[in-house]
Every structure is written in structure tokens, then in C-alpha cells.
Chains A and B, each alone.
Chain A
Amino acid sequence: MISFLLRAIVASTVAWLAVGCAVVEDKVPIDYVSQVGAPAPLPGAEDVLITLSARDRRTQLGDRVSTKKNGYGMEMARIVSTNDVVDLVRTSVEREFKAQGFRVGPGGVAVTIELQNFYNNFQLGLVTGTALADVSFGLKVRDATGAQLYARDYIGSAKIDDIMLMTGDNAKAALQKALAAAVKQVVDDVALQQVLLSTRTRSSRGS
């Protein structure tokens, strides 16, 4: 009886310890934490209707957002996001477009986001590690005929030094910073704003 109890205790302890094990898949929710202040709406932006869509164009490691590593730097279990990262990028950009005064909905000028990368890599150091995140996406603006009016790639990267564990929480922190850096480029893209505002001008001329 004592032997049975002892085994049960040992098994429970091992199971409890293995929860944070490098071979167990980590699932983390990733959020958009804006680095943009509260900008004044762009004059005329309220007359521009944007139809925003996003698609996954990742050719590598699309099944994860990072990979755990052990103390030797070896890749272990996947780190996945509990939410759809493609939709996360779309809603992040949508939020900033709305903050600039643009309207977002069906029937407007087509803005397509193509997610190229959403991944954090851990770098092994002598004592501590570093989280290196990269969030990249292309953004294309097309008119009603399908002609491309504007295209640009936005690359956001983030680096967090002195991490002790190469696990989901640290990957999440780096990815959120990289996402915010990439989206901030969209907000700061004057040429994009002018192209979007020009669609309002053309529609006004046409009517």
C-alpha cells in the first residue's frame, strides 16, 4: 500500500514538473500593444472607405510562432499562438487606420495584408539568452479594377536580452514588440496615407 502511494506521488510530481518541460508544446495568446500615441485624424480620411483583408504568405514555420530551446540551444517543442496571428495583424492595422480617421468596411478601396513572417528565434548566450522576433508583412492597395496603386513591405523586429528561459512567455514579449514596430511603420507611412486619400479625390471627381 505504501509502495503504491509512493509511486503515485512520484508520478504526480514528475507530471507536475514536466508541465514546463522543453518537450511540451507551449501555447501563448499574442496581443497587439500599440506604440502609437493618439494621432489627430487625417483631414478627409473619413471620406475613405477601406476594405481590409489579410492572408497568410508564410513559406516557413507557419505552424508556430517560435520554438522552445533547451540549455544546449537545441530546438525542442513548438510555441504556438492561441489566436490567429494573421487576423491579429489585420485587426492591428485596422485599429490604427480607424485611429487615423479612415472608415473600414466592405465596398471600399482594397487593402490587402500578406503576412510573410511571424516568428521569434532564441539565441543562446554564455549565461543568458536573447529573444529575436521578426514580424514582416506586405501591404497592397488596389483600386476597383484590381490595379495595384501601392505596395510596400513592413519589417518589425525586436530583441529582448538576458532571458533565462527560452519559452513561450519570452517569445510572446518579443513578438508583441516586433508587431508593434511593424504596425507603427504603417501609421507613419505618409505615401500610403496619400494614396488612400487620393482614392477619395478620384471618387469625388468621378461623381
Chain B
Amino acid sequence: MTGIWLSRFSVVGLAVSVAGCASVTSGTSQVIAVNSDPVGADCTLTREGHSLGTVKAPGPVTVKRDSRTIHISCSMPGYEDGKVVLNSRYETATMGNMLLGGAIGMMVDASTGASNRYDAQVTVPLTPLAGGQVAVPAPSATPTHPAAVPPSAPATASDGAAHPAPVTPVSGQSRSRL
């Protein structure tokens, strides 16, 4: 009788311990190797407007797994800023819950973000600035539109949201941020 109960406890314990296959095998965070072409660009990773980290390419950035999109922006003197967007994909290790972990495992993986993954490597291409740029008078800061708002105040959809993104006006040889 004791043996039966012991084996039952063992089964339950095993089920709990392996709950969340992806959480166990892949973890809740991952490393993204960020590269730029040409190398040496300063790259920033953001998710919903929040910075996840910066790196001088090539270099690794550790991010928490999530279902939301990551935006990578790289800048380098003499080049236009390069942008790459990483969408979250399904982590195949989560399928292990079909064998072990079951519904509990899936819920654990979903809540920890472990059921998501991003591409492990990304290369951001940079385009050289066009030569012979002509100096242009910087626009005045006076709003000309009654409904207009400053660029720093992002527009917001009723159920959606817009996040501030880098603004890069170019005036002659020097590039400055508004």
C-alpha cells in the first residue's frame, strides 16, 4: 500500500518538476547576436519603446523572451541609421509539453514567455550617406498645424499605441536630433 502511494507521489512530483518544458530546456531569456554591415555600429534594442540594451556590433544582447516585437536600430558616422525588426516566433521546445508537463507546462511556458523565441542572429545593414549633401535651413520649431503635436508626444490608437521613434533631421554636414 505504501509502495502505491509512493509511486503516485513520484508521478505527481515528476509532472510538477517538468512542467514548462521550454522554461526548463530553453529558459525564459535568450541571447541575440547583433551584427552590423559594416561592423562597428552602435545598436539599440527596444520593445514597446523600452530599451532592452545597447551593443557595439558585433555583440550579444540578452533579452527576455516575449511575444512582442523587438526593434533594432543601429547608427554609425557616415551612414544612414539601419533598422531591423524581430518578430517573436513559437519556441518548438514547448511541444515537449505534449509528452511531459501537459496543460500545466504549457501555462508555465506561456506565462514566463518561454514559449516564444527570437532569431538568434541578426545583421543590420547600413547605407552610406549620400555624398555632397546640400545644407538646408533647419525648420523652425513653430507648429504650423492646429492639430499637430510635438514629435516627442506619440500618437495613440484607441486600442493601439504608438511609440516614440528616433527623429533624424539632417542639416548640412551635421546631423542632430530634434
* Chain A interfacial positions (CB closer than 8 Å to B): 35, 37, 39-40, 42-43, 57-61, 69, 72-75, 100, 114, 116-117, 119, 121-126, 130, 132-134, 136, 138, 140, 142-143, 145-160, 174, 177-178, 180-182, 184-185, 187-191, 193-195, 197-198, 202
Contact = CB atoms under 8 A, between A and B. Distances in A.
24 contacts: A35-B158, A40-B146, A72-B106, A116-B71, A123-B110, A136-B85, A147-B133, A151-B81, A151-B170, A152-B151, A153-B166, A155-B71, A157-B69, A157-B161, A177-B160, A180-B160, A184-B162, A188-B149, A190-B144, A190-B149, A191-B178, A194-B140, A195-B169, A202-B136
Contacts of A193: 144-145, 148
A138 to B, nearest CB: 6
A197 B145 CA distance: 12
Contacts of A188: 147-149, 151, 153, 155
B32 interface: no
A173 B115 CA distance: 24
A126 B134 contact: no
Nearest to B136: A149
Interface residues of B, number: 63
B56 to A, nearest CB: 21
A114 to B, nearest CB: 8
Nearest to A144: B134
Given A123-B67, A157-B162, A191-B151, A147 B145 contact: no
Contacts, number: 208
B13 interface: no
Interface of B: 48-49, 67-69, 71, 73, 80-81, 83-90, 94-95, 97-98, 106-107, 110, 115, 119, 122, 129-130, 132-134, 136-137, 139-140, 143-151, 153-163, 165-170, 178
Among A72, A145, A202, chain B packs the most CB atoms within 10 A around the CB of A72
A204 to B, nearest CB: 13
A153 to B, nearest CB: 4
B80 A148 contact: yes
